[in-house]
């Protein structure tokens, strides 16, 4: 179920709104090898060496399709079912976001963003300790997520993507957001829960 989002007024903040200038430590913008010819292109999303270097093993590949303006997120899984993610836009264009949820990090509660396009061989590496979300900038966006752990309903968590204490500047103002995401709490409302890293 989805519907147009409505910005809800919050009465308190836990910290100033902050967007990190660049990519937060731990987040990596990864450019794969691309091979172009008259047929189109072929590119390598990742290889064995990437997995070795990051000490991970992907166990699942997820695909989503979204229409222009759609926001998905902000999602993550808590320990012991936390996931690393490699996010790639296959077609279209997305505004991809990672929010730092590492409580001892100097950037806790701040976000960074990266534009991912289907015609570029660029992926965003989001390790454990971050919430992830994105907004579709075009129609028929197809997104691939390589993840290092299985989905767990019990450990799956959501923060409202319109959370004012994070203050994400979503580029498209006409938003479509799922009921589950829209009704999720703000970060400032869950600070006392054992759901962070």
Residues carrying an active site annotation: 75, 145
Taking the C-alpha atoms of residue 52 and residue 29, their distance in angstroms, rounded to an integer, is 17
Sign of CA dihedral 87, 158, 156, 4: negative
| Token code pair at residue 120 | 């570029």
Query: Tokens 């990051």 correspond to what residue?
Result: 54
CA dihedral 143, 33, 26, 164 (to 10 degrees): -30
Q: 94: which strand partners? A: 116, 136
**Angstrom distance (rounded) from CA 153 to CA 150:** 10
């Amino acid at each position: 179920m989805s519907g147009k989002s409505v910005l809800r007024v919050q009465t308190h903040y836990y910290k100033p709104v902050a967007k990190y200038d660049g990519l937060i430590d731990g987040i990596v913008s990864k450019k794969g090898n691309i091979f172009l010819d008259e047929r189109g292109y072929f590119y390598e999303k990742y290889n064995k060496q990437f997995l070795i270097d990051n000490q991970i093993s992907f166990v699942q590949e997820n695909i989503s399709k979204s229409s222009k303006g759609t926001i998905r997120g902000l999602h993550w899984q808590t320990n012991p079912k936390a996931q690393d993610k490699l996010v790639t836009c296959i077609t279209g264009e997305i505004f991809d976001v990672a929010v730092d949820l590492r409580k001892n990090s100097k950037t806790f509660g701040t976000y960074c963003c990266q534009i991912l396009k289907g015609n570029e061989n660029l992926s965003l590496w989001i390790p454990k300790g971050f919430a992830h979300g994105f907004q579709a900038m075009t129609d028929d966006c197809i997104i691939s997520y390589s993840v290092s752990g299985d989905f767990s309903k019990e450990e799956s968590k959501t923060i409202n993507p319109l959370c004012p204490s994070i203050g994400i500047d979503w580029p498209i103002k006409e938003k479509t957001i799922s009921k589950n995401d829209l009704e999720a709490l703000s970060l400032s409302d869950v600070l006392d829960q054992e759901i962070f890293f």
